[in-house]
């Protein structure tokens, strides 16, 4: 039985169409010192530039 890497499953998710999405970094706290432009650029999910075979090892 293969174990799931919990640290990876907390950071990425697989969309309905099979794409892998991740949350942009630096959005958890300390937003007051970031400009509105920075925050706007970070909105939405990002892709992940790893092959699916590598990702499946961890999920």
Tokens of 17: 């169409």
Total domain count, the chain: 1
Closest CA to 55 of 5, 17, 16, 15: 5
Residue 30 maps to a domain: no
With the CA atoms of 17, 20, 24 and 25 taken in that order, what torsion angle do they form, in degrees rounded to the nearest 10? Answer: 160
pLDDT confidence of residue 1: 64
CB 49 within 8 A of CB 4: no
- 56 in any annotated domain: yes
In which domain, by residue range, is 51 found? 1-19+39-59
In a domain, residue 31? The reply is: no
For residue 50, being part of any structural domain is answered with yes
pTM recorded for the entire structure: 0.61
Q: Is the distance from CB of 20 to CB of 12 less than 8 angstroms?
A: yes
pLDDT at 29: 86
pLDDT score of 2:
76
Specify the pLDDT at position 35. Answer: 93
pLDDT along the chain (59 residues), means of 10: 82 86 86 90 84 81
- Is residue 27 included in any domain, yes or no? no
34 located within any domain: no
């Amino acid at each position: 039985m293969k174990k799931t890497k919990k640290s990876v499953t907390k950071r990425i998710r697989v969309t309905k169409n099979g794409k892998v999405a991740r949350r942009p970094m630096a959005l958890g706290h300390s937003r007051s010192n970031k400009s509105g432009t920075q925050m706007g650029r970070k909105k939405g999910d990002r892709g992940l530039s790893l092959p699916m075979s590598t990702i499946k090892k961890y999920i």
